């Protein structure tokens, strides 16, 4: 699937997703990525949002080229999330990463669809709450009696983050 | 029609009760036919397909994995929202919204069931509590409800047998409260499931809390899920995987670490003496007018394109094990020969006394993380308030410590995500921190309230029909003052527990007046949920005038007809019904085998 | 043999790998490469640069990644898989030792007794009453019913010094049911482990429930280490069919074995035993290596097992598919299952086709094997896929991110290859066969993790 998306666009999408989700890019686009949610999400958003999606990416590409990474969150807040058109669309993508659901209309959590089984399983919210998706644990019998491992790495540019 | 029936026993329903009886009889060399209204099942492929549906379902409700079909319809969780309370507080159906169960109120019956091989225990939690000795004597002890026609002591050996058949994990030393007894040297086949972090926090936090004169304590819940094999068990190994804490016991265990009736069904089929006819919907019970004995069960077959044909299954004995809504529906629909319906002449009780454990969720934010969404959905409970003198005045309840945070009452973590992202505009690291801080501290405890039997809570035949033209169940259901006093107590107990834990109580049912499952009691708002425990519509008793079956679960009116499942419970008690259904089915199988002995007329 | 000798021998054999016309670097190139057909004078394509395709009796220690892309990594693991297959199926002599002179398949028959068949069978490890395993190299315990009347049991139970396999198991994992061949005969399954794994089980007394209860710590089977050139744990699961009408024995690795059907109460089956000629139809080879603590999972099949779904242009004969029968695919036979009787043949189709890259390496190895001996039975086996952990050391991901996410052998995971929804194949997490996902759930009888081996859960 990733073949269909130019590398530079995918790179922009992953970096933006990293800012939106607060996850290091190696979580979103791990090496040897046979599940490849990033491509599924890219295409889901592109198909549903069209020009708005392109505008989000081009806006963020500009941010990337104009500012150092530690300013990206602030820039995204101001230039994308605060925008009446781009904001809801970006939050739609953000929620897609967290729960694998494409919410439509974008600014609520009652209507939408799970874009794939792997998207449900790969939802970041489960890592965020130091748990696992309902119906899919990788841990062994009795793990629930002990503290969970810490959540996944934060983006490099975040305070205390980096991998 | 042959004079010599082809089968010894015809069973309606391939759920837990039907498959246990089939297994026992098949092993004894008896010929058995099961009529199953729903589809069949293949251990690998079907579970795959069910899991796929579950993962992709937005609402992960109990029926989410299971496809259902228009020719063997079932009640579904969200269909109660076809109803609401109008401005005058009347229970009304929303225009254009159809539910399978035709609900007449004043409250909705909110529990659901499956019609497919394996039945509703596909989505049981695994909770395998025994009833308390006092539960069998509610009338004698507390002047409420009805006594059972048998005692705890009568059922005890069958409880033991059922715990091995299901494969229950528990420690005897923790289960001997409120007078529960075990045979000397008895042990469960597997050790208790380890308590979750939430369990541990509640157990430590509520020490010293006294409610209605009893000090609360947390008890590991006996579960039909695989755990460490008990070192005392010489050779136990059920061949299924160990629980891996996938956190989806309801609605489906991905790895079958949790027992389901496909296990007993496979055992039954493996005997070579049991046949199943899938997609065969029993529509009428025939009775021989001369003897009063059941002489056949008419059924309708269907495939994806609809009705296919009809047939009549004949045996020496008949077992209806189609759950506490479909069984009375079938009996009442068998009204061509007997207008009141089969098994209903003496008592008129068929369909009456429908019960559930109406559930009150109570939720709070703990002062420290307790990490929900990890491990089996529930591993411990507070059993302390399942019995006491208070049962003269109000319902008893058990408190299930739930492991899904606020998922049940408030749709966590989705609602949290929506609140933080769409509501507060959070993103990135701040969003992660907010979600982590809130959701890891969520706790939900569920009060399973004992509902008393009432004749007016009942299943009747609707004038609306299903895809095969069979009348659908019409449900009349409500809670009485005794039950509501139980809710009031539950609400107060929850507040005391959360206060003792230092948790911020978030339980709140206000502003929901139009919800179908809303009621107000003495100024206090409540919402209740269904527990999935459908009980009481063909109860057992000691007299043909007040009950449908006798203590052997044999129809008072038709001596070769047995009615199985939780429909026979005279009262619902506070334990999840599956283990008791299993024990009673094992007991019935013994009676049926005896009936089939040569020289026994049956 | 010393590892030095092994290396020398491997070098010599690499001469068998005939250089091809291209030396493409990328998997894309591999996709476009013409498929070399096994022929009388084979000329297989050479592997990508940095790898040598050779036939060697050396069991590989680990995978060395030659690139950073998923495609390159998968190629490396598939290479490892084939090296494993060749090494474990190398010829052993009458004493059960590897014979470096006798190249795999070089015997006139095209077949040979193999390394893994000298390993320890499950029945000799997990014994009734928790008894200690029989020693390494001891023949399997032969049930009395297999000691045929009048015959000296040792002679019948063994061919030379290599013990005859004793095949018992006739159902797939978790009671999913049997696989029944075109002759109505149940397929049989066998599990063996290598000596490092066996020694670890014995040393820690993990073969009995009592031993497991006193075992403290984590089950950590020894792993192979390339740096120290030590071999670690390898387990093999084999699927066999009894050769009969319609089967061409020259296309199978054949073993004579005692096929034992134990007594059963449900259904009532009397124990029985027969000496049969069996053809190997499926082979899992699973190795624990330093780089893959979750093990590397490879699986092979005989090429005639089943067509791909949806079935188009079916061949005229399969082991587990009848062209034109119209029977529903991958549907388990109705119960009761009784391996002592004939049953309705299982109509099997493969739901996930082999990737082009896997087909390429298969063609290369099949050609090499045919070059040794045009009659080699080993040219009729194909790699299905290799599953490996992409994140082997992430505490948040104890499973290690299985890559590819799913893997099924049609002879061993027949019924969990995927869900067919409206004619389309859906691969379902936790439901569809994934070696690593499933074996991650394996435990001791005490519920402690058993290091990805289900064998120990059967301890008494």
Task: Write a three-state SS string for chain A.
Answer: CHHHCCHHHHHHHHHHHHHHHCCCHHHHCCCCCCCCHHHHHHHHHHHHHCHHHHHHHHHHHHHHHHCCHHHHHHHHHHHHHCCCCHHHHHHHHHHHHHHCEEECCCCCCCCEEECCHHHHHCCHHHHHCCCCCCCCCCCCCCHHHCCCCCCCCCCCCCCCCCC
Residue C161 has pLDDT above 70, yes or no: no
The torsion defined by the Cα of B144, B150, B154 and B156, in degrees rounded to 10, comes to: -40
pLDDT score, position A6: 86
Name the residue facing B371 among A131, A140, A161 (closest C-beta). Answer: A131
Q: Is B553 left (phi over 0), alpha (psi -120 to 50) or beta?
A: left
Residue C15 pLDDT? 33
Q: What is the mean pLDDT of the segment spanning B225-235?
A: 95
The model's pLDDT over B286-340, given as tens digits with 9 standing for 90+, comes to 999 999 999 999 999 999 999 999 999 999 999 999 999 999 999 999 999 999 9
Q: Phi and psi (nearest 5°) for C234?
A: -135, 130
Does residue A92 register a pLDDT over 80? yes
**Angle made by CA atoms A58, A62, A65, in degrees to the nearest 5:** 135
- Confidence bin at C12 (pLDDT 50/70/90): very low
The per-residue pLDDT for C3 is 41
Average pLDDT over residues B164-182: 97
Residue whose entry in the numeric block shows the structure tokens 């006739």 = C170
* Residue C44 scores a pLDDT above 80: no
CA-closest candidate to residue B52, choices B251, B242, B279, B261: B251
Query: Cis (ω within 30 of 0) for the bond into B251?
Result: yes
Determine how many CB atoms are found less than 10 A away from the CB of residue A47: 10
| Predicted local confidence at residue C174, as pLDDT | 79
Reply yes or no on whether the pLDDT at C195 is more than 70.
Answer: yes
pLDDT digits (tens, 9 = 90+) for B415-439: 999 999 999 999 999 999 999 999 9
Range of lowest pLDDT (C165-179, C276-290, C300-314):
C165-179
| Mean pLDDT confidence for C219-238 | 98
Average pLDDT over residues B141-159: 98
Residue C264, min C-alpha distance to chain B (Å): 10
Interface check for C195 against chain B (CB to CB < 8 A): the answer is no
For the segment B582-602, the average pLDDT, to the nearest whole number, is: 89
In this structure, of A79-93, B246-260, C142-156, the range with the lowest mean pLDDT score is: C142-156
pLDDT of residue B159: 98
CA dihedral (C446, C447, C453, C455) in degrees, to 10, reads: 50
| Nearest chain A residue to B425, by CA | A81
How many CB atoms are located within 10 Å of the residue B107 CB? 22
Closest to B270 (Cβ–Cβ): which among C172, C336, C429?
C336
The pLDDT value given to residue C167: 77
- Other beta carbons within 10 angstroms of residue C314's beta carbon come to 15
pLDDT-based confidence at B4, cuts 50/70/90?
low
Instruction: Report whether pLDDT(C11) > 70.
Output: no
- Best of A29, A118, A140 to substitute, by most chain C Cβ atoms within 10 angstroms, is A140
Measure Cα distances from C152 to C137, C219, C252 in Å: 20, 41, 29
Neighbour count for residue C242 (Cβ, 10 Å)? 19
pLDDT of residue B599: 74
pLDDT beyond 70 at A18: yes
pLDDT of B380 > 60? The answer is yes
Binned at pLDDT 50, 70 and 90, residue B116 comes out as very high
Which residues in chain A (97-136) have CB-CB distances under 8 A to chain C?
117-118, 121, 127, 135-136
The structure tokens listed for B383 are 């059993």
Q: Give C10's pLDDT tier (boundaries 50, 70, 90).
A: very low
Percent of the residues in chain B that have a pLDDT greater than 90, as a whole number? 97
By the CB < 8 Å criterion, does C328 face chain B? no
Lowest-pLDDT range of B248-252, B544-548, C42-46, C241-245:
C42-46
Cα distance between residue C208 and residue C213, in whole Å: 9
**How far is C-alpha B498 from the geometric centre of its chain's CA atoms?**
28
- For C352-373, write each residue's pLDDT tens digit: 999 999 999 999 999 999 999 9
Q: Give the mean model confidence (pLDDT) for residues B554-572.
A: 98
Distance separating alpha carbons of residues B528 and B471, to the nearest angstrom:
28
Q: How far is A69 from chain C (nearest CA, A)?
A: 25
Question: What is d(CA C115, CA A41) in angstroms, rounded to the nearest whole number?
Answer: 48
Inter-chain CB proximity A140 and C397 less than 8 Å: no
C151: pLDDT strictly greater than 50: no
What are C276's two structure tokens? 């049969």
Chain-centre distance for alpha carbon B469? 27
Q: Which residues of B are less than 8 Å from C430 in CB distance?
A: 51, 246, 254-255
- Considering chain C, what percentage of its residues have pLDDT values greater than 90? 73
What interface predicted TM-score (ipTM) does this complex get?
A: 0.96
- As a whole number, the mean pLDDT across chain C is 86
Quick check: C159 pLDDT over 60? no
From the number of C-beta atoms within 10 Å of its C-beta (0-12, 13-18, 19+), residue C305 rates as buried
Kindly report the nearest CA distance between residue C400 and chain A, in angstroms. Answer: 9
SS percent in chain C: helix, strand, coil, step 5: 25, 20, 55
- The Cα–Cα gap between B200 and A14 comes to 40
Report chain B's mean pLDDT, rounded to a whole number: 97
Band of residue C143 on the pLDDT scale cut at 50, 70, 90? confident
> Is 50 exceeded by the pLDDT of residue B464?
yes
Rounded to whole angstroms, the Cα distance separating B273 from B375 reads 39
Chain A residues near residue C448 by CB distance under 8 angstroms:
140-141
Distance of alpha carbon A36 from alpha carbon C404, whole angstroms? 11
Closest by CA to B234, choosing from C25, C269, C333, C130, is: C130
Name, in order, each residue with C-beta under 8 angstroms of B274's C-beta and a sequence gap of 6 or more. Answer: B22, B23, B25, B26, B32, B33, B34, B268
Q: So what's the pLDDT on residue B172?
A: 98
Top residue of C212, C429, C440 to mutate, by most chain A CBs within 10 Å, is: C429
Judging contacts by C-beta atoms under 8 Å, the chain C residues touching residue A32 are: 70, 73, 390, 401, 403
CA distance C437 to B254: 11
B361 SS3 class: strand
Backbone angles phi, psi at B386, to 5 degrees: -80, -15
pTM of the model: 0.94
What is the structure's pLDDT at B16? Answer: 98
Count how many pairs of residues, chain A against chain C, have C-beta atoms within 8 Å: 51
Using a CB-CB cut-off of 8 Å, the residues of chain B touching A73 are 427-429
pLDDT of C17 reads 36
């Amino acid at each position: 699937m990733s073949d269909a998306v130019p590398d530079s666009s995918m790179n922009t999408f992953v970096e933006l997703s990293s800012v939106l989700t607060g996850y290091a890019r190696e979580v979103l686009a791990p090496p040897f990525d046979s599940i490849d949610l990033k491509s599924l999400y890219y295409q889901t958003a592109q198909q549903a949002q069209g020009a708005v999606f392109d505008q989000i990416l081009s806006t963020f590409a500009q941010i990337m080229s104009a500012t150092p990474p530690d300013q990206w969150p602030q820039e995204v807040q101001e230039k994308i999330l605060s925008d009446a058109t781009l904001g809801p669309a970006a939050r739609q993508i953000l929620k897609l990463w967290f729960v694998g659901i494409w919410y439509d209309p974008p600014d609520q959590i009652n209507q939408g669809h799970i874009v794939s089984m792997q998207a449900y399983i790969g939802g970041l919210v489960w890592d965020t709450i130091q748990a696992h998706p309902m119906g899919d644990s990788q841990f062994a019998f009795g793990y629930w009696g002990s503290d969970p491992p810490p959540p996944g790495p934060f983006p490099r540019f975040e305070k205390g983050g980096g991998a | 029609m042959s004079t010599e029936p082809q089968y010894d026993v015809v069973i309606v329903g391939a759920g837990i009760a039907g498959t246990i009886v089939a297994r026992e009889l098949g092993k004894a060399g008896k010929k058995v036919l099961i009529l199953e209204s729903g589809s069949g099942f293949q251990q690998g492929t079907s579970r795959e397909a069910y899991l796929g549906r579950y993962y992709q379902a937005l609402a992960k409700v109990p029926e989410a994995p299971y496809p259902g079909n228009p020719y063997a319809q079932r009640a579904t969780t969200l269909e109660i929202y076809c109803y609401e309370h109008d401005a005058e507080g009347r229970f009304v159906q929303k225009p254009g919204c159809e539910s399978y169960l035709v609900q007449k109120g004043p409250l909705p019956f909110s529990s659901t069931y499956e019609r497919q091989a394996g039945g509703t225990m596909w989505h049981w939690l695994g909770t395998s509590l025994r009833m308390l000795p006092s539960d069998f004597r509610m009338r004698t002890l507390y002047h409420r409800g009805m006594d059972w026609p048998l005692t705890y002591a009568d059922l005890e050996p069958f409880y033991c047998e059922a715990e091995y058949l299901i494969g229950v994990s528990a420690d005897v030393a923790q289960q001997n409260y409120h007078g529960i007894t075990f045979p000397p040297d008895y042990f469960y086949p597997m050790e208790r499931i380890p308590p979750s972090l939430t369990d541990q926090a509640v157990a430590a936090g509520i020490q010293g809390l006294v409610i209605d004169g009893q000090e609360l304590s947390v008890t590991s819940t006996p579960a039909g899920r695989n755990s460490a094999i008990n070192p005392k068990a010489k050779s136990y190994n059920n061949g299924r995987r160990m629980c891996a804490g996938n956190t989806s016991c309801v609605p489906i265990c991905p790895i079958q670490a949790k027992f389901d009736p496909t296990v007993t069904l496979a055992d039954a089929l493996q005997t070579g003496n049991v046949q199943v006819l899938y997609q065969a919907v029993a529509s009428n019970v025939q009775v021989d007018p001369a003897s009063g004995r059941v002489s056949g069960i008419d059924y309708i077959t269907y495939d994806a394109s609809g009705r296919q044909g009809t047939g009549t299954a004949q045996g020496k004995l008949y077992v209806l094990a189609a759950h506490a809504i479909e069984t009375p529906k079938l009996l009442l629909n068998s009204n061509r020969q007997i207008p009141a319906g089969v098994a209903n002449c003496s008592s008129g009780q068929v369909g009456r006394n429908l019960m559930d454990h109406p559930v009150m969720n109570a939720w709070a934010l703990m002062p420290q993380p307790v990490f929900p969404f990890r491990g089996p959905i529930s591993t411990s409970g507070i059993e302390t308030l399942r019995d006491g003198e208070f049962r003269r005045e109000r319902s008893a309840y058990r408190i299930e410590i739930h492991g899904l945070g606020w998922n049940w009452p408030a749709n966590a973590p989705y609602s949290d995500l929506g609140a933080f992202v769409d509501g507060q505009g959070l993103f990135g690291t701040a969003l992660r921190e907010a979600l982590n801080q809130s959701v890891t501290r969520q706790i939900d405890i569920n009060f399973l309230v004992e509902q008393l039997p009432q004749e007016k809570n009942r299943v009747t035949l609707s004038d609306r029909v299903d895809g095969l033209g069979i009348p659908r169940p019409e449900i009349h259901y409500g809670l009485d003052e005794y039950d509501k006093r139980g809710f009031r107590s539950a609400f107060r107990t929850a507040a005391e527990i959360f206060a003792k834990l230092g948790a911020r109580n978030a339980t709140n049912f206000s502003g929901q007046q139009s919800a179908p499952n809303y009621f107000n009691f003495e100024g206090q708002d409540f919402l209740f949920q269904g527990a999935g425990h459908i009980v009481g519509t063909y109860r057992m008793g000691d007299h043909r005038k007040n009950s449908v079956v006798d203590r052997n679960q044999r129809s008072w009116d038709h001596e070769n007809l047995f009615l199985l499942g939780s429909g026979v419970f005279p009262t619902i008690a506070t334990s999840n019904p599956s283990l008791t259904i299993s024990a009673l089915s094992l007991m019935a199988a013994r009676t049926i085998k005896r009936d089939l002995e040569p020289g026994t007329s049956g | 043999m010393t590892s030095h000798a092994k290396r020398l021998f491997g070098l010599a054999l690499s001469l068998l790998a005939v250089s091809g016309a291209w030396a493409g670097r990328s998997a894309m190139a591999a996709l476009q490469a013409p498929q070399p057909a096994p022929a009388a004078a084979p000329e297989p394509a050479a592997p990508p640069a940095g790898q040598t395709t050779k036939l060697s009796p050396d069991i590989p220690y680990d995978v060395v990644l030659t690139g950073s892309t998923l495609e390159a990594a998968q190629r490396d693991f598939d290479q490892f898989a084939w090296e494993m297959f060749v090494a474990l199926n190398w010829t052993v002599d009458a004493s059960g030792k590897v014979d470096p002179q006798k190249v795999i398949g070089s015997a006139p028959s095209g077949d040979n007794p193999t390394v893994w068949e000298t390993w320890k069978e499950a029945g000799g490890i997990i014994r009734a009453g928790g008894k200690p395993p029989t020693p390494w190299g001891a023949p399997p315990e032969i049930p009395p019913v297999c000691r045929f009347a009048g015959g000296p049991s040792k002679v019948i139970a063994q061919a030379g010094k290599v013990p005859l396999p004793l095949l018992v198991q006739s159902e797939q994992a978790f009671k999913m049911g049997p696989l029944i061949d075109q002759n109505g005969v149940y397929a049989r399954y066998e599990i063996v482990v290598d000596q490092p794994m066996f020694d670890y089980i014995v040393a820690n007394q993990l073969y009995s429930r009592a031993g497991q209860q006193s075992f403290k710590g984590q089950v950590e089977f020894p792993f192979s280490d390339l740096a120290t050139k030590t071999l670690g744990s390898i387990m093999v699961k084999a699927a066999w069919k009894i050769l009969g009408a319609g089967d061409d024995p020259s296309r199978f690795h054949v073993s004579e074995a005692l096929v034992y059907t134990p007594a059963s109460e449900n259904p009532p089956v009397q124990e029985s035993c027969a000496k049969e000629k069996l053809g190997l139809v499926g082979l899992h080879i699973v190795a624990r290596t330093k780089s893959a603590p979750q093990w590397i999972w490879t699986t092979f099949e005989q090429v005639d097992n089943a067509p791909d779904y949806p079935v188009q242009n079916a061949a005229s004969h399969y082991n587990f598919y009848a062209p034109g029968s119209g029977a529903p695919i991958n549907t388990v036979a109705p119960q009761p299952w009784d391996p002592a009787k004939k049953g309705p043949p299982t109509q099997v189709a493969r739901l996930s086709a082999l990737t082009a890259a896997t087909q390429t390496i298969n063609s290369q190895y099949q050609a090499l094997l045919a070059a040794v001996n045009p009659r080699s039975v080993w040219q009729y086996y194909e790699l299905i896929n290799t599953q490996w952990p992409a994140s082997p050391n992430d505490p948040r991901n104890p499973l290690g991110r299985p890559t590819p996410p799913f893997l099924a052998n049609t002879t061993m995971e027949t019924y969990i290859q995927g869900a067919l929804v409206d004619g389309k194949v859906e691969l379902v997490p936790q439901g569809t066969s994934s070696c690593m996902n499933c074996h991650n759930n394996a435990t001791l009888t005490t519920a402690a993790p058993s290091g990805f081996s289900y064998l120990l859960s059967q301890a008494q």
